[in-house]
Amino acid sequence: MSRSDEPAACVAGADLQTFMQRALARCEVDEASRNAVARALVTASRMGTDSHGLRLLPHYVRAVQGGRINPRPAMRFTRRLPGTGYLDADDGFGHLAGYTAIEHAIAMAEEIGIGAVAVGHSSHFGAAGCYALEAAQRGYIGLSTCNADALVSLHHGQGPFHGTNPIAFAAPVPDQPPYLLDMATSSIPWNRVKQYAAIERELPPDVVVDRQGNLTTDASQAVSLLPLGGADFGFKGAGLAGMAEVLSATLTGMIHGFRMLPMSGDDMSTPRGVGHFFLVMCPDAFVERGVFDRGMLAYLKDLRAQPALEGREVLAPGDREWRCQARRDAEGIPLDSANVVAYAELAEELAIPALT
């Protein structure tokens, strides 16, 4: 059974951000953390990624209230070599860790051409693209990865092993929005499964399996995601998930996703020990900036000019997101019926003005 895809309400991005900051302030979250969380969630929802945007606020409130997330972390950065560093996030919000780490990586890239930061003792950081995008918007190439609790089957595996382990890559484009790839290494993100289950919407085929390991389109029956590539070619997604695991867990000294506490489990008091990895490169460190800029413009022009299938359109990574952002900036960010209820309940619980 499915419900209408029509939104139950639409809100301005600025109003949504204010609501998020008020909610987190009531949970005694420090200003830097609540600003980072609201910034990342609204950025994701403006681009259409609601599964990693506005839908997550009630979960974060529960996690910080329970003690899983440190509301006032004392994050510590150590620069180990000229182009590398480690950020101990002190079990704080992953969004603050992400924006902090990317700032350090950009500073190193500005100085020596490249900067990489491994992050440990962190938590869920929302959409990986937020941090790669921050680098690209400032003229750098950015890469971000993260590990997560086991939700994705290995290729030909019976049960979940990897997390959705996202990989995001962004590059600057002169006089255009950045090139932005932001993808889970599963067929779809788990948060989208939860979102679809909440509104009783059917999933696409070949993306999840039920408790018996059978393919299903019923989001409420899903217990494991398939890796990118599905049942036949999932070795590709499983391999990419492993790459993200090595960068985000092994390189940061954190536990691997298979042994991590589930994000949506009953334990909201124990920190999960999530790891992230960020890489920033200055194009000028490799070729003259004009050479890079001309190459990006020529590549995207050729890509977008390719013939499309009937009724379809060839898009570059990020094109869909920028179109969605322009539309939502003009019309408001839509909330489905489940989110309308969740935000109303949150406003009442925290005694803050309702989102209107």
Q: Do the Cβ atoms of 196 and 217 come closer than 8 Å? A: no
pLDDT for position 2: 40
pLDDT for position 3: 47
Name the H helices within 246-332. 289-304, 319-331
Q: Do the Cβ atoms of 136 and 172 come closer than 8 Å? A: yes
Condensed to tens digits (0 to 9), the pLDDT of residues 21-44 reads: 999 999 999 999 999 999 999 999
Condensed to tens digits (0 to 9), the pLDDT of residues 321-342 reads: 999 999 999 999 999 988 999 9
Residue with the two structure tokens 């895809």: 5
Beta bridge partners of 79: 85
Q: What CA–CA distance (Å, rounded) separates 120 from 269?
A: 18
Largest Cα–Cα distance of the chain, in whole Å?
A: 56
Choose among 48, 58, 61: nearest CA to 7. Answer: 48
- Would you say residue 147 has pLDDT above 90? yes
- Would you say residue 169 has pLDDT above 60? yes
Helix (H), strand (E) at residue 160:
strand 160-162
pLDDT for position 153: 93
3-state secondary structure of 53: coil
Q: Do the Cβ atoms of 79 and 85 come closer than 8 Å? A: yes
Average pLDDT over every residue of 251-259: 97
CB count within 10 Å of CB 74 equals 9
3-state secondary structure of 275: strand
Q: How is 329-342 classified by DSSP, letter by letter?
A: HHH-EEE-HHHHHH
- What token pair was written down for 332? 């408001």
Condensed to tens digits (0 to 9), the pLDDT of residues 273-301 reads: 999 999 999 999 999 999 999 999 999 99
Residue with the two structure tokens 């941090």: 131
Domains detected in the chain: 9-289+323-350 (3.30.1370.60)
Q: Do the Cβ atoms of 66 and 269 come closer than 8 Å? A: yes
pLDDT for position 351: 97
Average pLDDT over every residue of 114-123: 98
What is the three-state SS of 94-136?
HHHHHHHHHHHHHHHHHHHCEEEEEEEEECCCCCCHHHHHHHH
Average pLDDT over every residue of 243-256: 98
Query: What mean pLDDT, rounded, does the chain reach?
Result: 95
CA dihedral 220, 224, 230, 231 (to 10 degrees): -110
Q: Which residues contact 307 (CB under 8 A, 6 or more apart)?
A: 314
The more confident residue out of 1 and 157 is: 157
Condensed to tens digits (0 to 9), the pLDDT of residues 186-204 reads: 988 887 898 899 889 999 9
Q: Which residues contact 313 (CB under 8 A, 6 or more apart)?
A: none
